[in-house]
Chains A and B, each alone.
Chain A
């Protein structure tokens, strides 16, 4: 997975994500967007799969956007044990959906995602609707290990996450972070908008006309790209990708 939150030169926050997973052909056919409504008004929107009731990508209009990237730690049985022994631990996708439904500010969303016990370690990437609202929350099962925030005033106008702790170097054989950063810096803060965020999410290594199959922003596992901007909720859209 790759998730990016960026602030453009006018102070608008943009959130782009590629969801990479196995079983691509299965998942691509069942990817949908869902507008969760009460009294005819959209309370929140998510990108999901037929049959899936949680959320790994979503937006609360005019408030915040959330994406989840897997964190390469531990083993499946640790997650299963956590689920069995810790009744307070939430499924990742349930916490995201509950946060979209119940948190009514960016800060409340950050608190819920940072400190609610979880079954699995993950990254939550959160974008707001106001200047400088953007963060990557590195989670273990109990709590947040780190909350890495955007700081445009200090030149950090975007934060991004693939699947490795941002303070560590990613593995050499899966360094999607570097090409993503390069693409963002080439685009520049003045060039950031929905279309350029989609372009960054579509970056793949090419040698002339030959597409190289090395891990990249857009790779074989990418099932969809979603682009959101909480301050402009109508922007939110999702595209199935067939790399």
Chain B
């Protein structure tokens, strides 16, 4: 079952919001989205202390002020194409730094 992972191109010449579109629109990925939404919620509720969640709301409300490009635009693009809540995408991206201790 140790299989090589799928590979996608990210076109850096396109707008940040479009960088991950080819992956998002892959039928194999589209199939996973419902499960992803649920798993993302599970991961977030068990990983991120509740005290942090209001912080994430502040962050998400003004993403471009807190996060550099192209990252803010890319997160927005992924939220749009997967339908996963932007705040949850932000948390998933912060999860490593928050848990790296």
* Residues in A lying within 8 Å of B, measured CB to CB: 22-23, 25-26, 29-39, 43, 47, 49-54, 56, 70-80, 83-84, 91-94, 101, 119-122, 202, 224-225, 237-242
Contact = CB atoms under 8 A, between A and B. Distances in A.
Contacts of B71: 53-54, 94
Interface string B25-42: 000010010011001101
B8 A34 contact: yes
A74 B4 contact: no
Contacts of B93: 51-54, 91, 93
Contact of B101 (A23, A49, A78, A239): A78
Nearest to A122: B100
Nearest to B22: A34
Q: Which of B6, B11, B97 has the largest count of A CB atoms less than 10 A from its CB?
A: B97
A92 B96 contact: yes
B36 A30 contact: yes
A82 B91 CA distance: 16
A78 B9 CA distance: 36
Contact of B1 (A34, A76, A242): A242
Contacts of B70: 53
B7 A34 contact: yes
A4 to B, nearest CB: 18
Q: Is the interface of A mostly helix, strand, loop or mixed?
A: mixed
B9 A30 contact: no
B32 A29 contact: yes
A101 B16 CA distance: 14
A35 B10 CA distance: 6
B101 A74 contact: yes
Contacts of A239: 2-5
A76 B23 CA distance: 31
Contacts of B12: 36-38, 43, 101
Nearest to B94: A91
Contact of B100 (A29, A37, A84, A121): A121
B6 A33 contact: yes
Nearest to A218: B2
Nearest to B71: A53
B32 A36 contact: no
20 contacts: A23-B42, A32-B7, A33-B6, A33-B7, A34-B7, A37-B12, A50-B24, A50-B32, A51-B36, A51-B93, A53-B75, A53-B93, A54-B93, A70-B101, A94-B68, A101-B12, A237-B4, A239-B5, A240-B5, A241-B2
B4 to A, nearest CB: 6
Contacts of B15: none
A101 B10 CA distance: 13
A70 B7 CA distance: 25
A53 B32 CA distance: 18
B101 A120 contact: yes
Q: Which of B32, B40, B92, B100 has the largest count of A CB atoms less than 10 A from its CB?
A: B100
A73 B101 contact: yes
Interface in B47-87: 47, 49, 52, 55, 68, 70-71, 74-75, 78, 82, 84
Contacts of A240: 1-3, 5
